[in-house]
Structure 1
Amino acid sequence: MELFRALLASDGSRFFAAFERVLQGHEIETEARAVGFGVSPDKFVAYRFIWFEGLALLRLAERAGLRSDAPFLYCPPLARVAMTMECDNDWALPFGAGAK
């Protein structure tokens, strides 16, 4: 809750301190799942190294005027770069008889 209160208050020092605490919890959970049995490596690999929720929180912070260039585990710098061009239909791949 502190993370969201700090975000709403646009308090950068509070937000990033709370973000680090949440990140530590995510790390503990992720590493436990990584060494546990029953986790399919091919389905878990993206979640093992990238924290999608953390990236979203950092993007929300940037939109609120809070910025940190500090490296955060599971939030790689390239995933934090703002898009500079639109990508219409980048998810659509042609298939079937007419695909090239």
Structure 2
Amino acid sequence: MAKDHTNFFNDVYEVVRLIPVGRATSYGAIANYLGVKGSARMVGWAMNAAHTIPDVPAHRVVNRAGVLTGKHHFETPSLMQEQLEAEGVEVEGDKIKDFSKIFWDPSNELAL
């Protein structure tokens, strides 16, 4: 019997909706916040399925080094970068410049 990942994906999307304009986070940071540290790949699967959901800013989720690894899941390979740059985030060579300054950690920002 296949596992139903719908609830997990929805939890991921709820976190992604909270990422402020001009900031970005990583798959691993979201997994850690959701209590499934080490499940960054599963967050990636959720993000791959999010590109048709208008209110989920998938372009703000990158790998731990700030690389736009999900860009191929957008309508065009340059759309992820274009969306980040429209929010004032500098991207060079498919990587967010000064990622440590742009990085939004949900475990810190959404602390209870």
Higher-helix-fraction structure: 1
Q: Please confirm whether the aligned pair reaches a TM-score higher than 0.5, indicating the same fold.
A: no
Q: In terms of Rg, which structure is larger?
A: 1
TM-score normalised by length of structure 1: 0.35
Higher-strand-fraction structure: 2
Between 1 and 2, higher relative CO (CA 8 Å, sep ≥ 6) is seen in 2
